[in-house]
Amino acid sequence: MRQPLSRELGNLLERGRDRQLRLAVTGLSQAGKTAFLTSLVNQLRHAGVEAQLDLLPAAREGRLLGAQRLNQPDLGVPRFPYDPGMAALRESPPRWPDPTRGISELRLQLRYRPARQGWFTPDIAHLTLDLFDYPGEWLLDLPLLQHNFYSWSQSQSLHEGPHRKALFKEWLTGIEHLDPADEADEAKLATLADAYAQGLRRAKQAGFSDLQPGRFLLPGELDGAPVLQFFPLPTLSIPQETLEALPDSSVYATLAARFRYYQQQVVRPFYREHFRRFDRQIVLVDILGALNAGPERFEDLSRALQQLMQSFDYGKRSLLTRLFAPKIDRLAIAATKADHVTPDQHGNVVQLLESLLAEPLKDLRFADIPVKALSLAAIRATEAREVLHEGKRTPALKGTTMEGEDVLVYPGDVPSRLPQAEFWQQQGFDFPSFRPMLSTSDALAHIRMDAAIDWLMGDKLA
Ligand SMILES: Nc1nc2c(ncn2[C@@H]2O[C@H](COP(=O)(O)OP(=O)(O)O)[C@@H](O)[C@H]2O)c(=O)[nH]1
Ligand SMILES: [Mg+2]
C-alpha cells in the first residue's frame, strides 16, 4: 500500500537528519577493549583537528564536525570510564587505563555534514552513537544454553591438557569423593564451587581462554551469590535417568537447579536486554599475545573464539536466532596491538586471524552478515624504524618497556597461516610489553583505527 505523501516526506527528512547506532565492543579480557573504546571516543572527539583519520571519508573530507558526550539512556548500566582512561594515559610516565570488569556504556552525538546535498538533506546532521564494552567471556556462555546440567558436565571433560588439569587439582581432588546422591551440604558445595572458580581464574591467568561459565571469571555484581556456586560433574559414570530421579535435596539436583538458574537469570537476560539490541559489533582478538604465549594457549584461544563466534552466527536455525532474534548487521574482527610487530608483518597478522577464524567466517558469509577482518593498534606504543643489520635495511620497533627501558627490537615474523610444530620449536616470535607513548597531540596515535571506524559507522556518516 502507498503511504500518504506527508509520511513519505517525513521519513525522508528523518533519514537525512538524526540517525542512531548501537555499537558494541567485545573480546576476551586483555584483548584491548578499554584501549579501543578510549581511543575511539578520543579520535571522534578530535576528528576535525588533530586526529589522523584519513581512511574515514567523513573525516578526510572535513565533514565530521565533532562529537559531544550525552547522558546515556540506560540508567542501570555503568558509564564507560573515558576520563579516567585518558587521565592515566596523560600521566608521567603514561599508564594503560585500569581494567574494567563488566558492561559499560557511553553515548556520543556526532555532528556531520552529509556528503550528498539534496532537497531534503539538511546542512548538518547528527548521529547518536551508543557505545558498549562488555566481556567476551560472557559470550562463552551461549553454548551453555543448549545444555542441561548432565550434558554440560559431560562437555566439560573435553580438552583437558595436563597443564590445565594441574590448575584445577584441588577441585578435582575435592569432587573425587562427592557422591551425587548424598544430601547437599551447603558449606561443602560452596567450598568446592570456590575451588572450581579458583581453577578458572588460575587458568585464565595462565593464559587459557576456553573457560565456562564465563561469569565465574567476571562476576560483576553477582560476586558471592549462590547462583555462582555450582560446578560440573564431569567424571560421572551413572546413567542420566538415575541421576535425574534423585531427590531435590541431593547434591546432583542442587547443582542442576543452580545451573538452570544461571541459564535463566544470568545468561539469557544479557542476550535479551543488551545483545539483542546491538546494531554493530567489533570483536577484538589479542592474537599476537597468544603467539607470544606458546602452542597450548594458542590452541585454547582458537577453541574459545570458535565458541564466542557462535553468538554471531545468524543462520536461520542457530540457537541464537531462535532464542533472541538479534539484529547485528555488520561485524568487524580485529587483531589488536598491531604496534607489537613491524609494519611489513601487518598483512600476515590479518591472514593469521582469518585462518584462526576460518570456520566462523565461513558461516557468517554464508548467513550473509558483512564481516571484515583487520589489524589495528588502538593506542600505538611503538614507532616503526629501520636498522642496518649486516649491511641490510631491516624494519624494527622502538618503544619503552613497562619497566621504563628504551628498546629497539625486532619481534619476529608472524606466520600467515596457523603455526605448525616447526614454528613453535623455532621460538620464532617474542616481544616485550610496552608502555604507552607520551602523547604530543590531543589525539592518540593509532594504527588503522580509522579503517575500523569507517567499516563500523562510515555508511551512517555518508
Ligand atoms: N602496545 C599496545 N598495547 C595495547 C594496546 N591496547 C591494549 N594494549 C595492552 O593490553 C592491555 C589490556 O588492554 P585493555 O584495553 O585493558 O583490555 P580489555 O581487558 O579487553 O579491556 C593494556 O593494559 C595494554 O598493556 C595497543 O593498541 N598497543
Ligand atoms: Mg576493559
- Reported as a pLDDT band with limits 50, 70 and 90, residue 257 is very high
- Cell numbers 572535513 label which residue? 62
CA–CA dist 462, 456 (Å, integer): 12
Q: What is the DSSP letter of 270?
A: H
DSSP state of 96: P
Domain final position from 233, 248, 272:
272
Is there an atom of ligand 1 within 6 Å of 342 CB?
A: no
Task: Write out the three cell numbers for 187.
Answer: 558449606
Cβ(415)–Cβ(288) under 8 Å? no
| 323 and 455 together in one domain | yes
- Report if residue 320 sits inside a domain: yes
Distance 386 CA to ligand 2 centre (A): 33
Taking the C-alpha atoms of residue 97 and residue 84, their distance in angstroms, rounded to an integer, is 7
What is the C-alpha separation between 137 and 291, in angstroms, rounded? 20
- Separation of CA 251 and ligand 2 centre (Å): 36
Please indicate whether residue 204, judged by its CB atom, sits closer than 6 Å to ligand 1. no
pLDDT at 255 over 50: yes
Cβ–ligand 1 distance for 381 under 6 Å, the answer: yes
Q: How far is the CA of 95 from the centre of ligand 2 (A)?
A: 14
What does the alpha-carbon distance between residue 130 and residue 460 come to, in Å, rounded to a whole number?
A: 13
Residues 328-357: what's their mean pLDDT?
A: 96
Q: Distance between CA atoms of 159 and 11, rounded to whole angstroms?
A: 54
State the pLDDT confidence band at 85, using cuts at 50, 70 and 90.
very high
Does any ligand 1 atom lie closer than 6 A to the CB of residue 377?
yes
In this prediction, residues 259-286 reach a mean pLDDT of: 94
Query: Looking at the predicted structure, is the pLDDT value of residue 395 above 50?
Result: yes
**pLDDT tens-digit readout, 39-56:** 999 999 998 778 899 999
Cβ-Cβ contacts under 8 Å for 418 (sequence gap 6 or more): 302, 352, 355, 356
Q: How many domains does the chain have?
A: 2
Which pLDDT does position 1 carry in this prediction?
45
* Cis previous bond, 93, omega within 30: yes
Between CA 263 and CA 102 the distance in angstroms is 18
218 lines ligand 1 (CB under 6 A): no
Q: What is the DSSP string of 409-447?
A: E---PPPSSPPPHHHHHHT------BPPPPPSSSSPP-B
Q: Any idea what DSSP says for residue 184?
A: P
Question: Would you state the pLDDT for residue 313?
Answer: 79
Q: Are residues 191 and 85 in the same domain?
A: no
Residue nearest to atom 13 of ligand 1 (CA): 32
pLDDT tens digits along 171-212: 999 998 899 999 999 999 999 999 999 999 998 888 787 788
Determine the Cα–Cα distance for residues 340 and 331; give it in Å rounded to an integer.
24
Does residue 310 form part of some domain? yes
Is residue 450 domain-shared with residue 315, that is, in the same domain?
Answer: yes
In a domain, 356, yes or no: yes
Listed in sequence order, the residues at least 6 apart from 18 whose beta carbon sits closer than 8 Å to its beta carbon are 125, 126, 127, 128
Residue range(s) defining the domain that contains residue 109: 19-134+275-381+437-461
CA of 236 relative to ligand 2 center, distance in Å = 37
Cα 40 to middle of ligand 2, angstroms: 14
Task: Indicate which CATH number applies to the domain containing 332.
Answer: 3.40.50.300
* Residue 205 in domain: yes
Taking the CA of residue 434 as reference, the ligand 1 atom at the shortest distance is: 1
Q: Can you give the pTM of this predicted structure?
A: 0.89
For ligand 1, whether the C-beta of 302 sits within 6 Å is: no
Per-residue model confidence as pLDDT tens digits over 367-381 = 888 999 999 999 999
Portion of the chain with pLDDT greater than 90, in percent: 61
Q: Which of 337, 374, 400 to mutate to test the pocket of ligand 1 (most atoms within 8 A of CB)?
A: 337
Of 333, 336, 334, 335, whose CA–CA distance to 365 is shortest?
333
Residue to substitute in 26, 28, 30 for testing ligand 1 pocket (most ligand atoms within 8 angstroms of CB): 30
Of 248, 302, 249, give the one whose Cα is nearest residue 418.
302
Nearest CA to ligand 1 atom 3: 337
Handedness of CA 164, 167, 173, 178 (dihedral sign): negative
Report CA(206)–ligand 1 centroid distance (Å).
17
Q: Specify whether 228 is located in the same domain as 326.
A: no
Please indicate, yes or no, whether residues 59 and 93 belong to a single structural domain of this protein: yes
**Which residue, 257, 272, 287, sits at the end of a domain?**
272
Q: Do residues 226 and 292 both lie within one domain?
A: no
Beta bridge partners of 415: none
Same domain assignment for residues 74 and 156: no
Highest mean pLDDT among 172-181, 217-226, 245-254: 245-254
Using a 6 Å cutoff on CB, does residue 336 contact ligand 1?
yes
CA end-to-end span of the chain: 29
Q: Is 34 close to ligand 1, i.e. is its CB under 6 Å away?
A: yes
Q: 341 lies in a domain?
A: yes
Give the tens place of pLDDT for each residue, 297-326: 898 899 889 989 988 877 767 778 878 888
Query: Does 399 sit in the ligand 1 pocket, CB within 6 Å?
Result: no
Is residue 6 a part of any domain in this protein?
no
Asked if residue 286 and residue 203 are part of one domain, the reply reads no
Residue-averaged pLDDT of the chain:
89
Q: What is the pLDDT of residues 103-121, one digit of tens each?
A: 999 999 999 999 877 777 7
Residue 406, pLDDT score: 95
Mutate to test the pocket of ligand 1, among 336, 341, 401 (most ligand atoms within 8 A of CB): 336
Q: Are residues 214 and 289 in the same domain?
A: no
Q: Which ligand is nearest to the CA of 38?
A: 1
The one-letter amino acid code at 454 reads: D
Q: What pairs with residue 131 in β-bridges?
A: 23, 106
The domain boundary, picked from 272, 300, 316, lies at 272
The pLDDT-based confidence of 411 (bands split at 50, 70, 90) is confident
Is residue 60 one of the residues assigned to a domain?
yes
The best mutation among 38, 96, 204 to test binding of ligand 1, ranked by most ligand atoms within 8 Å of the C-beta, falls on: 96
Higher pLDDT pick, 76 / 178: 178
Report the DSSP beta bridge partners of residue 386.
Answer: 395
| Binding site membership of 30 for ligand 1 (Cβ less than 6 Å) | yes
Q: Give the distance (Å) from ligand 1 centre to CA of residue 31.
A: 6
In a domain, 430, yes or no: no
Nearest Cα residue to atom 23 of ligand 1? 96
Same domain? For 225 and 236 the reply is: yes
Question: Do residue 79 and residue 116 come from a single domain?
Answer: yes
- Are 156 and 174 part of one and the same domain? yes
